[in-house]
Amino acid sequence: MSVPTRFPTLLVHGGAWAIPPEMAEDHQRGVARALEAGYRILTSGGSATDAVEAAVTILEDDPTFDAGRGSFLTSEGKVQLDALLMDGATLRAGGVACVERLRNPIQAARLVLDKSPHVYFVAQGAENFAASHGMPLIDNSELVLDREKLRLEEARSRLAQGLADTTFSGPEEPGVPSNRSSFEGWRDDKSPETAHPLTTAVSEVGPGFSPGIHSASSPDRRGASMAPSSDAVKQPQPFDSHDTVGAVALDQHGNLAAGTSTGGTLNKTPGRVGDSSLIGCGCYADNHSAAVSLTGWGEPIMKLVLGKWATDRVAQGVTPELAAQQAISYLFARLGGHGGIILLGPDGQFGLAHNTPGMAWGIADHQGLRTGLHI
């Protein structure tokens, strides 16, 4: 039996986007419940992998978030879910994508991790694998909310009018073109949905620069620059979207784990897979470096393999706090991408960053439990 050597730590996020004030309380309650469930496992001597699975399951079951029930709808009006779970001690991983008949894709990902020689299953193959190991299959309609049907109609209307999706970037500024492709040096042919006026030249973006990150006046002594707040990020207009969920954990035996789950983007083409369930993109865990979960517009994150990029920085000696900020800076500098990150090292140091108007987050460790909506 191994001797505990670490204080257990759990970080969760409920998505980085323009969180409207009326959804603030639900977001903080949701991440708090996820923290409580996962941290209870860690303080009882359970594994980081178990804690991450439990925390993400809570978030999937909460219709506040874009994971599980209440997720965004595809252009065909269905829910398609992706998830990944990774064990940092062994580098075992399990991923599923484009599943329509599973209530908790993170649990299916756990089955792939534990029960299959393969790493990744998609669509009906993933559903059949999960069912063969005891997961019940449901009708897709059980995952669809009337709220999301209305959102899909609104998204179709905006698309028909040629209006940009400001889910991640926040409201556009008057008089500034909304299509990023018009900005030389910031072109990303896959992400007009994150269109936002860009005012910082690529050459001016240096290490640690993260548009939208507000430094706390008194950083946490272990490296996370935090500004816990019960207030929502104030927006001048409502936003009808939400985003990916995830968790990273360090258990008493020094093992890391990470998990990410999502319903994808609103009005997406059926079969589209984002970064969340791809190893090294939206999720990664390795005891020799760090555990990470990302959220935001997936196409830029995938192109940069941003999760592995961030954990590699930690392996090279960069603190998780700085590595998290650098990752979001890199995302923005290279592709004008918007998103958020939670990053946890094997020594318990952690970092959080985002360049969206808000990101629901939570931390539980020996200092207690705290949540917030922006850094």
Q: Token digits for 12?
A: 């969760």
Residue linked to tokens 């961030």:
310
H-helix or E-strand containing 83?
A: strand 81-87
SS3 for 194? helix
Contact 329, 208 (CB under 8 A): yes
Cα atoms in the 13 Å half-sphere on the side-chain side of 275: 30
136: its two tokens: 């019940």
Angle between helix axes 48-61 and 24-43 (nearest 10 degrees) is 150
Contact yes or no for 256/287 (Cβ under 8 A) = yes
Give the tokens for residue 349. 């140091």
Pairing label, strands 93-99, 120-122: parallel
Compute the radius of gyration of the chain from its Cα atoms.
19
Q: Is 356 a catalytic residue?
A: no
Catalytic residue among 74, 244, 260, 311: 244
Which sequence positions are flagged as catalytic?
244
